[in-house]
Structure formats: structure tokens, C-alpha cells
Amino acid sequence: MSSAGSKKSAHEILEDEDFRSLHSQKNSISLILTILELVLYFGFIALIAFNKPFLSQKLSEGSATTIGIPIAVGTIVLSWVFTAIYIFWANSRYDILVKKIKNKIGG
């Protein structure tokens, strides 16, 4: 074991409970947001591929806008929202845990 104030070995860092927690949290949020983004994106692409008549319906009589336009915009906006969620999480949790681990290992 290393004494307080000295640098820890890679093995000690990997075994540290705070590091494991950080790793687990990062993997969880990354996996959840990645799956949501893939479902969103490929769902939209599948809708384009398999249900063009639905997407080409007009929003209202006399309107030039089709249902596909707000769905496409929604896809883009939701992608931004997923990114904002990750940024918020990283700034409020991840960075704090990284700083705590750095201080603990002497980095």
C-alpha cells in the first residue's frame, strides 16, 4: 500500500471504490443515452424507409408542411437534449468525482 500523499499504482487506482463508482456511473449514463439516441435516429430512418405515406401527410388542409418536418426537427432537438443531459451530468457529477479521485491518488 502507498502512504497518504504519495502516488498510487494503477492497480490501486483501479481497485479504488470511488474510481469504480465513477466508472460504473459513466458507463450507465453513456449506455442509456446511446441506446436512446440509436432508437431515436434509426426509428426515424425506419419511418422514412417503411412509412413514407404517413410522413408525406399534410399537417392541415392547405398547409405545405408535412408531418415529416416536425418529426425530423424533433429528432434533431431530442439529440441536443440528450447531449445537454450528458453535459449537465458531467458538470455536476463526473467532474466532481474525477477531482476527488485525483486528490486521493495524488494527481
The span from the CA of 19 to the CA of 24, in Å, is 9
Is residue 2 a part of any domain in this protein? Answer: no
| pLDDT of the residue at 33 | 97
pLDDT, tens digit, 9 for 90 and up, residues 23-71: 999 999 999 999 999 999 999 999 999 999 999 999 988 888 999 999 9
Grid coordinates standing for 64? 405545405
| pLDDT of the residue at 2 | 46
Range of the domain at 85: 10-105
Is residue 3 a part of any domain in this protein? Answer: no
Grid coordinates standing for 85? 443531459
Is residue 37 a part of any domain in this protein? Answer: yes
Is residue 1 a part of any domain in this protein? Answer: no
pLDDT, tens digit, 9 for 90 and up, residues 67-107: 999 999 999 999 999 999 999 999 999 998 889 888 887 76
